Structures are given as C-alpha cells and as structure tokens.
Amino acid sequence: MELMKQLNYLNAKFIMNRNVKFVYRILKPNEWNEFKKKNFFYGNSNDIDSGFIHLSTKQQVEDTVKIHFKDCKEVVVLKLDVSEINENLRWEKSRNDSFFPHLYNHICISNVKNFKIINV
C-alpha cells in the first residue's frame, strides 16, 4: 500500500509540475503584513497543525476563498512560481479528491511574483 501511495504521489507531481507554472497562497491582510515585515511565511495555525503550507492552483482559488475565508472582508492572493519551490512542493489529494499543492517549507518574500487584494 505504501508503494502505491508513493507511486501516486510521484505520478501526480510529474503531471502537475509539467502543467502548472504558478500556485497561489491566500492570506488574511494581517498575515500579509507580517509576512512583509519578516520576509518569510511559515504558515498560519492551520498550516502548522497540518505540517505544510496550504496552496491552491489558479482554478482552486475561488472555492478556497469561499470555503476557508468566508468571514473575511478581503484577502491577499499571492502568486508563487512553482520552479522556485518545487523541491518542497507535494501534490496531495484533498477537497473533492482533487490534487492540491502543499508546501513542506516556508515561503520567502522573493518567491512572491505578484499579489492581488480581493474583496470577499
């Protein structure tokens, strides 16, 4: 069973990394402000409890905001280049059996290629 899990992970990583150039991190404004001050983001309490930083593909951002940030007035969406974080990026099944990018490391401010503030 462990071998099958590992093969599924490697297959997902190969497929996703060939097709996805950018992934996205959604932050609350106060998290973004702290990130800018410290130049590093180690995750919020949910990430720390999970053991990785939750990311989304472009197609997953809208639902992620609706589900996990519905109580926020605005969020900050960070655009991250997969090639810069690939070594610690894993594609794992999550919501609706879809593969989501999970980062098993921190994010450096230099990894942020762009950001957008969105009203929720």
Q: pLDDT digit string (tens) for 83-113?
A: 999 999 999 988 888 899 999 999 999 999 9
Lowest mean pLDDT among 36-40, 48-52, 59-63, 97-101: 97-101
- The pTM for the full model equals 0.85
Range of the domain at 63: 2-119
Structure-block tokens of residue 90: 């894993």
Number of domains within the chain: 1
pLDDT at residue 17, as a whole number: 54
* Residue predicted with more confidence, 11 or 80: 80
pLDDT tens per residue, range 1-41? 566 566 555 555 555 555 789 999 999 999 999 999 999 99
For residue 9, give the CATH number of its domain.
3.20.170.20
Residue whose C-alpha is closest to residue 120's, from 80, 62, 78, 79? 62
Long-range contacts of 66-72 (CB under 8 A, 24+ apart): 67/95, 68/26, 69/26, 69/28, 69/120, 70/120, 72/28, 72/120
* Residue predicted with more confidence, 10 or 46: 46
Residue whose C-alpha is closest to residue 14's, from 79, 96, 106, 90? 90
Structure-block tokens of residue 32: 């973004």
